[in-house]
Structure 1
Amino acid sequence: MLKAAIVILLIAVVVSLFSGLVFLFRDDGGKRRLLNSLIVRVSLSVALLVLIGIALWSGELSMNPTP
């Protein structure tokens, strides 16, 4: 369940990234869709980092001890 949430958040960040790219090329400058896309992308990234941090702290995810 946790890994699925991480993958969904990663996909959402990538979708927001590409939607911001589309807004960058298509908007004339009067709309704030590019700024809103940036806000969504940063918020999703923070949520992803918090989720990974909580999962590492609780022991549901573990780091690879051997390379």
Structure 2
Amino acid sequence: MLKFTIVLLLIAIVVSLFSGLVFLVKDDGKSHRTVNSLIVRVSLAILLVAVIAYALWTGQLHMNPTPS
């Protein structure tokens, strides 16, 4: 469930990134949709970092110190 949440947040960040690009190209600076998209993207990134930190703190997610 945790990995699904992380993947879902990553997908939401990418969708917000591309929606911001579309708003930037189509609006020509007439609306605040690009800024709102940036706010959503930053909020999702903060939430993603918080979820990963919580998962590491509780032991649900482990780091790989010796990759092979």
User: Under a length normalisation based on structure 2, what TM-score does the superposition of the two structures give?
Assistant: 0.95
User: Under a length normalisation based on structure 1, what TM-score does the superposition of the two structures give?
Assistant: 0.97
Show CA shifts across 1:33-65 (max 9, x none): 000000000000000000000000000000002
Query: How far is the alpha carbon of 1:16 from its aligned partner?
Result: 0.1
Is there any run of 5+ residues in structure 1 with no aligned partner, and where? Answer: none
Pairs aligned (count)? 67
CA root-mean-square deviation: 0.6
Other structure's SS at 1:24 match: helix
2:13 matched residue in structure 1 = 13
Is there any run of 5+ residues in structure 2 with no aligned partner, and where? Answer: none
4+ aligned runs moved over 2 Å, structure 1: none
Identity of aligned residues (%): 67
Query: How far is the alpha carbon of 1:29 from its aligned partner?
Result: 1.4
1:60 matched residue in structure 2 = 60
CA distance, structure 1, for counterparts of residue 21 and residue 31 of structure 2: 14
